[in-house]
Amino acid sequence: MGTEKEVKTNVFNASDMNSDFIIRKCTVEDLEGVIEVNERELPEDYPYFFYKSILENYPESFFIASKRKNPQKIVGYIMWRIERTPSLNGLKLISKGHLVSIAVSEGHRRKGVSTALLDKSMPAIKNDNISEYVLEVRVSNYPAINLYKKFEFKIHSIKKNYYRDGENAYYMIKEVRED
Ligand code: ACO
Ligand code: ZN
């Protein structure tokens, strides 16, 4: 749904007993585990209330991944928010789905977990009548850029000095097709 990409065979939803991973909606009890993954895997950290407000405002597109054998332990997450900006003529507001953050624990990468997180969350955030999906990514973050390209995101522009350490970001966009 929403993308042409097939979810890899070892990641399915909670009802499939053969898969290694479970993808499910995040709950407030999961936030501690989400923050743990974020702080281990990404230099961009946020205070607890930030995660909590994303969860409160956009619960339908906030997903976590865990191992089926250990469902309490979170190994990945994805969270989105909606951003409203004036249209070119300034007469109405355009909604964009903004990918706030995605990360997967190092030991569980390259198994399709992020692919499954995107596959699940993109149709959910799309329900908010967005015209495009947008995100920023470090220009050096080859794995993530590659992942987004696989989902047909295109590099739109460079945001200079976007990160605290001075690194530039690619601003990547995927248009939402009417289908
Ligand atoms: N090198 C090249 N391509 C890669 C790599 C890599 N190391 N990792 C993923 N990809 C691309 C490939 O095209 C891959 O498909 P393939 O395995 O069939 O070749 C595709 O992405 C899908 O890979 P997944 O297994 O679904 O991705 P994974 O679960 O490993 O997660 C992620 C990818 C999130 C980038 C992970 O490496 C990670 O957590 N990195 C640290 C955190 C991070 O950088 N997050 C993104 C920050 S930007 C933002 O949040 C908006
Ligand atoms: Zn952003």
Domain containing 139 — which CATH number?
Answer: 3.40.630.30
Which tens digits make up the pLDDT trace of 51-78? Answer: 999 999 999 999 999 999 999 999 999 9
- Look at residue 43 and tell me if it is in a domain: yes
Structural domain range at position 77: 11-175
State the helix-helix crossing angle for 48-57 and 31-41, rounded to 10 degrees: 120
Q: Domain count of the chain? A: 1
Instruction: Answer yes or no: is 3 within a domain.
Output: no
Give the pLDDT confidence score for residue 53 in this predicted structure: 98
Domain assignment present for 139: yes
Assign 18 a pLDDT band (cuts: 50, 70, 90): low
| Closest ligand 1 atom, residue 150 Cα | 13
Residue 18 resides in a domain: yes
Where is 62: in which H helix or E strand?
A: none
Nearest ligand to the CA atom of 98 = 2
> Which residue has the CA at smallest separation from atom 50 of ligand 1?
101
Q: Is the CB of 115 under 6 A from ligand 1?
A: yes
pLDDT of residue 9: 44
Q: Which residues of 166-175 are buried (b: 16+ CB within 10 A; e: fewer)?
A: eeebbbbbbe
Euclidean distance between CA atoms 6 and 4, whole angstroms: 7
Tell me the best of 104, 120, 159 to mutate to test the pocket of ligand 1, counting ligand atoms within 8 Å of each CB and taking the most.
Answer: 104
- Higher local confidence (pLDDT), 88 or 153: 153
The answer to whether residue 1 is domain-embedded is no
In a domain, 4, yes or no: no
State residue 109's pLDDT score. Answer: 96
Tell me the CA end-to-end span of the chain in Å, nearest whole number: 10
- Measured from the alpha carbon of residue 43, the closest ligand is 1
pLDDT band at 4 (very low <50, low <70, confident <90, very high): very low
Does residue 121 form part of some domain?
Answer: yes
